[in-house]
Structure 1
Amino acid sequence: MDKGGNPGGAGGVALVTGASSGIGAAVAAALVARGHRVIGTSRDPATVAEPVPGVEYRALDLTDSAAVESLVAAVGPVDVLVNNAGESQSGPLEELPMEAVRRLFELNVFGAVRLTQLVLPGMRERGHGRVIMVGSMLASFPLAYRSSYVASKAAIKGFANAARREVTPYGVWISTVEPGSVNTGISERRTQYLAADSPHAARYRTMLAALNANEANGITAGAVAATVLRAVEARHPKPLYAVGSNAPLVFALRRLLPRSAVERAVARRHGLR
């Protein structure tokens, strides 16, 4: 057993970002059921449509470093951090406004990294802790017209992979959970950038229609939450947990096939040739 006992056991403090709906709400509910004190963040807790019983909601804008630091100071020691909050963005690379890309990275990457930096010292000193980065299988299987989103999810996985060996000697584990297509209604909330006269318009709309259909038929947020819980409670967590979109099969094929063949397969699955 790693130093300090089982950090995923009941009774610890869990901080879940983006807990107002979808995967974050499902993760928060799963952790409450396991006996954790759960702090769930939302930009505006007053607007949470269906609050999860037992979750303490706190306001947080992940793009505001001062707000992130204030939250961690107010919450105190954290045993489990689930970096879930994020934005889904799409559009041709040449048409993505740089201010939108910067906002995406502030939310999806820098906010998660800063939160992790702030909770790691306490975890290390206590000899236990779990940090979960909620990524996306698109980080492993890139898709055209999702470049900014793919890059942001690849970035948090990169931080997790590189930092893991820094903290495991202290009983702290960092894992990435990569969901495939998930039916959470994110299709309606995705930010999109496409010029009125874009030469990419037809192919972009073909990709988007396939993406939305895949998400409509995707796994539930609860299935992702169950995978996050596995990572939190594992005696020796794995670096990567993938769930949905036939993850065991497609990751096996990724190891066997040339990268170009895998990229063509992903494109075909989304109507692109």
Structure 2
Amino acid sequence: MSTPHVAPVRPTALVTGASSGIGLAVARLLVAHGHRVVGTSRDPDRIADADRVAGVEYRALDLDDLAGVTALGADLARDGVEVDVLVNNAGESQCGALEELPLPEVERLFRVNVLGPVHLTQLLVPGMRARGRGRVVMVGSMLASFPLAYRSSYVASKAAIKGFAEAARFELAPHGVWLTTVEPGSVATGISGRRTIHSPDGSPYAAGLRQMLGRLDAAERDGVSAERVARTVLRAVQADAPVPTYAVGSGAPAVFALRRALPAAVVERVVARRFGLGPRGVRA
């Protein structure tokens, strides 16, 4: 029998990647709504004063280092920090043709985008379950539902994290702990300047990759704000029983309705057309 969700007087939230973009906006919003917030960053000492949020306790975390994830969990337990809300936001973006993606870089992406967040969840969920309450929000991507050429590794990582959340919901909901995924579409966070691109000299895929990146960068410049995504995360945190997925930006939820109504081949053509990709990779 499910234990009723009873929010603590001042719930504690852990937000990964809280120094910029969506994570920064989420940390700021949760503080404004009365949460104690622990925000992680690879190097908290390098966070600019303008990007520091009053009321956020910053801790170092590199999701590529799974031992470091374990150490953070141990540090929180040692300090008596009981996390009620975990927002797995930190991640990396990667582009390249499947044929040309260096396997070590794909492995690194999966450690950062999947294994690190999953391990952190494993460390914090037992406390939530014991207290009979908790929220875990995975910040995914609409690309998990609308895959895009030259983004195969990133798409796969976001689909994986969504799969963990959707399946584990059935395990944890009876204990008052809810997992959900927030899927942003294009977000204006400046991530295009931090995207890792793999395209060796003489690549037969170079033209198609350039075409896709030009459209992707334009979509992100015109995308929704990080603050809007943060408000969606807050909805998931505050809901008595969060739905499996919240989509925001890029025409959601209308595009999801079309995806359900239209044949998969039609949806694929629509996505390809939007990013200038034809049946041979580059629109003539």
Please give the range of the TM-score, normalised by the shorter of the 2 chains. over 0.9
Aligned to 1:65: 66
Distance apart, 1:5 and its partner CA: 3.1
Q: Distance in 1 between matches of 2:224 and 2:9?
A: 27
Letter in 2 for 1:203: G
Given that 2:5 and 2:240 are in contact with CA atoms closer than 8 Å, whether structure 1 keeps it comes out as: no
Aligned counterpart, 1:53: 54
SS across alignment from 2:253: helix
Q: Distance in 2 between matches of 1:270 and 1:51?
A: 36
Matched, 1:207 2:226: no
Alignment of 1:26 with 2:25, yes or no, is yes
Give the distance between the partners of 1:173 and 1:129, measured in 2 at CA. 6
Correspondence 1:171-250 to 2 at 5 A: 171-250=176-255
In the TM superposition, residue 6 of structure 1 has moved relative to its aligned partner by: 3.6
Q: What does 1:58-207 align with in structure 2 at a 5 Å threshold?
A: 58-75=59-76, 76-207=81-212
- The answer to whether the 8 A contact 2:101-2:198 is kept is yes
Report the aligned-residue RMSD.
1.0
Normalising by structure 2, report the TM-score: 0.93
Amino acid at match of 1:169: P
Give the AA of the match of 2:235. R
Q: Deviations over 1:186-245 (max 9, x none)?
A: 000000000110111111100000000000000000000000000000011100000000
TM-score where L is the length of structure 1 = 0.97
SS in 2 for 1:131: strand
- Whether the aligned pair in 2 keeps the contact of 1:72 and 1:119 (CA below 8 Å) is yes
SS at match of 2:155: helix
Partners of 1:4 and 1:78 lie apart in 2 by 18
Amino acid aligned to 2:267: V
Structure 1 unaligned blocks of 5 or more = none
8 Å CA contact retained: 1:82, 1:131: yes
* Displacement after TM superposition at 1:10 (Å): 5.6
Q: Does structure 2 conserve the Cα–Cα contact (< 8 Å) formed by 1:10 and 1:34?
A: no
Deviation at 1:73, TM superposition (A): 2.1
Contact 2:129 2:175 (C-alpha < 8 Å) held by counterparts: yes
The number of equivalent residue pairs is 271
| Contact kept in structure 2, 1:137 and 1:178, CA below 8 Å | yes
Shift of 1:42: 0.3
CA distance in 2, matches of 1:5, 1:158: 24
- Report what 2:42 is aligned to: 43
Choose 56-65 or 79-88, whichever is displaced more. 56-65
Match of residue 13 from structure 1: 12
Distance across 2 between alignment mates of 1:22 and 1:35: 21
Gaps of 5+ in 2: 279-284
Give the partner amino acid of 2:25: A
SS at match of 1:219: coil
Q: Tell me the CA shift for residue 62 of structure 1.
A: 1.1
CA distance in 2, matches of 1:111, 1:73: 15
Runs of 4 or more consecutive aligned structure 1 residues displaced over 4 Å after TM superposition: none
Equivalent of 2:260 in 255, 258, 263: 255
Asked whether the equivalents of residues 95 and 154 of structure 2 are also in contact (C-alpha less than 8 Å), the reply is yes
**Structure 1 residue 263, shift from structure 2 partner:** 1.1
Structure 2 distance, partners of 1:36, 1:74, is 20
